[in-house]
C-alpha cells in the first residue's frame, strides 16, 4: 500500500528553459503581445475613420466642381487607332512592298521552328521558279516557302468571305447604319502631286479618225505589262482607262486600286488607294472629262468615290428608302457621259444614282433574276437582261420600259454589252460559251452572228470605241479569249495564238481610242498590247 502511494505522488516538472519559452511564445503568443496587438488595431480604425472624413470632404468638393461641367465633357469616345483607317498611297507604291513575313495577317495555330532552318531551292522545277519575286532568288527558307505558296494559292482562289471574321454580315448591317459616320474614319489622304501633274498636262488622248480594218488579220504588238513593277496580289477583277489621259487603273480582291501612267515602256504607278475590308469587284474612272473621280465597290453595302485632284474619299451608301433593293454595290457602271451610276440590285432591280451628288434618282425592275446590264452610248437607255435571255430597254427620259425582246439562245445568260456608233451592236453571252450579236438598227430581231469559239461561261464582253472589234473571253479556261471583227462576225485568225500569254482572263478593256488593249488574268498580271490600226 505504501508502495502504491509512493508511485502516485506528483512529479514536479523542471523549470522551462529560455528556448522552450521562445518556442511557446511563437506558437501560442503571450499576454504582452496580445495587448499590443489590440492597441495597434484601435489605432488602425482611428486612421481609417480619419481618412473617411478627408475623402468625404474631397468628394463633396469634387461634386461641387462637376456640377459646373457640361454633360458632354464627362465622357470621351474611344475612336480607335489611326491604323484602322483607310490607307491612300500617293507615292510610287514602295510602302506596299511587304516582306514574306508580313504577308500573313493571321497568326498560325502551330509553328514548326525547324521551318526556318530548311533551305529550299527555287531552281529545281518550273513550278518553284514561279515563286521567285526576283530573278536573283535562288533559295528561300521553309517559312518563306509556306507564305509564298499561300500567296500563290490566294491569287487563284481568293480568300472566301466566310473565312474573314471582319467581313461578317452583322458588321455589314452595322456599317450600313453608321455609313455616314464611318466614311470619314476610313480614309487617310495621301500625296497625289504626281497624279495631279499628269491630270494638269494639256496632252490628252484623242480618238483617231476611224478607218476600216481587215476582217481576218489583226496588226497587234505586245508591249510591257502595265503592272510589271507593281504587281497585284490577287486576280485583276476590273480595269478602266481614263477618258482623256494615259492612265489605267486596276483593282481586285487585294482591296487595292492602282493607277498607272501607260506609256508602253515603263508604265510607272502614280498612285494607289487601299480600301480596308472592301475586296474590289468593280472600279471605273468617271467618263466625264470635267470630273476627276474614281468609283470603286465590292460585295459591301456601300461604294467609294475617290477624287484624284484633292485626294478626298467619299463613302456612298444611302439610297434613302430603297436600301432593300440594293444589298451590294459590287456591280455598277458609270454612264458614258459620266452623269449617272447604274447599280445591279437584287430582286430584278437596277438603281440609278447621280454621279455628282450620289443621290438616288430612279429605279427599274425586270422579271426574274438580273444577271447583267449596260448603258447606251448616249446614256439615255439602260439595258437589263435576266438569266433566261429576256431583255428590257428602259428610257431614262420617260422613266419606263420602251422595248422588250428575247435573245435566241435564252439559256444561262451571263453578260450583255452594247457598243458601236449609235449603240448599234448588242452582244449577249451565255454559260455555254456562245455569244450572239444583234444589230439594233435593223428591223429584224434575228442575230447577225453566233460565235461558238469558246466552250466555257462568258465572263467578259467588250467593244472597242468604233465598234469594229468585239472581245469575248471566259475565265473558266486558260487562254479563252477571241477578237471578233464587226459587222462580219469573223474571228481574227492570227491573234491570239498558241504563244500568247493570256492565262485565265478575268477582265478586258480597250483604251478610249482603241490604241491599247489591256487584259487582266487570275495570276494578277495586267498584259498590254498595242493595236497598230489606230
Strands (DSSP E) contained in 407-446 are 413-419, 425-430, 435-439
pLDDT in tens, 183-208: 433 433 334 566 666 776 645 555 55
Give the pLDDT band of residue 277 (cuts 50, 70, 90): confident
What average pLDDT does the segment 276-298 reach? 94
Residue 522 has pLDDT above 80, yes or no: yes
pLDDT in tens, 348-379: 999 999 999 999 999 999 999 999 999 999 99
pLDDT in tens, 42-64: 554 444 444 444 444 444 544 45
pLDDT in tens, 132-143: 877 778 888 888
Q: How many distinct helices (H) and strands (E) make up the chain? A: 8, 31
pLDDT in tens, 498-507: 999 999 999 9
Residue 150 has pLDDT above 50, yes or no: yes
For 432, residues 6+ apart whose C-beta sits below 8 A from its C-beta are 409, 411, 412, 455, 457
Please, what is the average pLDDT of the chain?
80
Alpha-carbon distance 402 to 395, whole Å? 6
Burial code (b: 16+ CB inside 10 Å, e: under 16) for 505-526 equals bbbbbbbbbbbbbbbbbbbbbb
Query: Residue 49: which H helix or E strand, with range?
Result: helix 31-66
Alpha-carbon distance 87 to 276, whole Å? 8
Higher pLDDT, 453 or 125: 453
- Domains by residue range for the chain, with CATH: 220-531 (2.130.10.10)
Most confident of the ranges 70-79, 122-131, 402-411: 402-411
Residue 104 has pLDDT above 50, yes or no: no
Residue 94 has pLDDT above 70, yes or no: no
Residue 524 has pLDDT above 50, yes or no: yes
For 203, residues 6+ apart whose C-beta sits below 8 A from its C-beta are none
Amino acid at each position: 500500500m505504501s508502495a502504491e502511494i509512493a508511485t502516485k505522488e506528483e512529479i514536479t516538472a523542471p523549470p522551462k528553459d529560455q528556448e522552450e519559452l521562445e518556442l511557446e511564445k511563437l506558437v501560442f503568443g503571450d499576454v504582452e503581445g496580445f495587448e499590443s496587438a489590440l492597441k495597434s488595431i484601435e489605432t488602425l480604425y482611428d486612421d481609417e475613420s480619419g481618412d473617411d472624413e478627408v475623402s468625404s470632404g474631397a468628394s463633396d468638393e469634387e461634386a461641387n466642381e462637376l456640377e459646373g461641367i457640361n454633360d458632354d465633357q464627362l465622357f470621351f469616345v474611344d475612336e480607335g487607332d489611326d491604323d484602322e483607317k483607310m490607307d491612300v498611297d500617293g507615292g510610287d507604291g514602295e510602302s506596299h512592298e511587304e516582306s514574306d513575313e508580313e504577308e500573313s495577317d493571321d497568326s498560325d495555330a502551330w509553328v514548326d521552328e525547324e521551318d526556318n532552318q530548311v533551305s529550299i531551292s527555287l531552281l529545281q522545277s518550273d513550278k518553284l521558279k514561279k515563286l521567285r519575286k526576283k530573278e536573283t532568288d535562288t533559295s528561300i527558307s521553309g517559312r518563306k516557302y509556306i507564305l509564298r505558296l499561300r500567296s500563290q494559292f490566294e491569287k487563284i482562289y481568293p480568300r472566301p468571305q466566310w473565312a474573314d471574321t471582319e467581313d461578317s454580315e452583322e458588321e455589314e448591317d452595322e456599317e450600313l447604319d453608321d455609313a455616314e459616320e464611318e466614311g470619314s474614319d476610313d480614309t487617310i489622304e495621301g500625296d497625289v502631286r504626281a497624279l495631279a501633274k499628269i491630270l494638269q498636262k494639256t496632252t490628252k488622248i484623242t480618238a483617231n479618225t476611224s478607218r476600216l480594218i481587215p476582217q481576218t488579220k489583226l496588226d497587234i504588238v505586245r508591249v510591257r505589262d502595265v503592272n510589271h513593277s507593281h504587281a497585284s496580289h490577287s486576280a485583276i477583277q476590273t480595269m478602266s482607262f481614263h477618258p482623256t489621259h494615259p492612265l489605267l487603273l486596276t483593282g481586285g480582291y487585294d482591296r487595292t486600286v492602282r493607277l498607272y501612267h501607260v506609256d508602253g515602256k515603263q508604265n510607272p504607278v502614280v498612285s494607289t488607294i487601299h480600301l480596308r475590308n472592301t475586296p474590289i469587284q468593280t472600279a471605273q474612272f468617271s467618263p466625264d472629262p470635267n470630273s476627276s473621280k474614281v468609283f470603286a465597290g465590292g460585295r459591301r453595302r456601300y461604294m467609294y468615290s475617290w477624287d484624284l485632284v484633292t485626294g478626298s474619299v467619299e463613302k456612298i451608301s444611302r439610297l434613302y428608302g430603297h436600301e432593300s433593293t440594293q444589298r451590294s454595290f459590287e456591280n455598277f457602271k458609270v454612264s458614258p457621259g459620266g452623269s449617272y451610276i447604274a447599280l445591279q440590285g437584287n430582286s430584278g432591280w437596277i438603281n440609278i444614282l447621280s454621279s455628282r451628288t450620289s443621290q438616288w434618282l430612279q429605279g427599274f425592275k425586270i422579271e426574274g433574276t438580273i444577271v447583267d446590264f449596260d448603258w447606251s452610248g448616249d446614256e439615255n437607255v439602260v439595258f437589263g437582261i435576266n438569266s433566261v435571255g429576256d431583255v428590257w430597254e428602259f428610257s431614262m427620259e420617260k422613266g419606263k420600259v420602251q422595248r422588250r425582246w428575247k435573245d435566241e439562245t435564252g439559256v444561262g445568260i451571263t453578260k450583255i454589252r452594247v457598243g458601236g456608233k449609235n449603240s448599234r451592236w448588242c452582244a449577249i453571252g451565255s454559260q455555254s460559251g456562245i455569244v450572239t450579236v444583234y444589230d439594233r438598227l435593223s428591223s429584224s430581231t434575228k442575230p447577225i452572228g453566233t460565235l461558238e469559239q469558246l466552250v466555257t461561261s462568258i465572263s467578259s464582253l467588250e467593244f472597242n470605241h468604233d465598234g469594229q472589234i468585239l472581245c469575248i473571253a471566259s475565265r473558266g479556261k486558260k487562254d479563252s479569249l477571241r477578237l471578233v471583227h464587226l459587222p462580219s462576225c469573223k474571228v481574227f485568225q492570227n491573234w491570239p495564238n498558241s504563244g500568247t500569254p493570256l492565262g485565265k482572263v478575268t477582265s478586258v478593256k480597250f483604251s478610249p481610242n482603241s490604241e491599247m488593249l489591256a487584259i487582266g488574268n487570275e495570276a494578277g498580271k495586267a498584259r498590254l498590247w498595242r493595236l497598230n490600226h489606230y
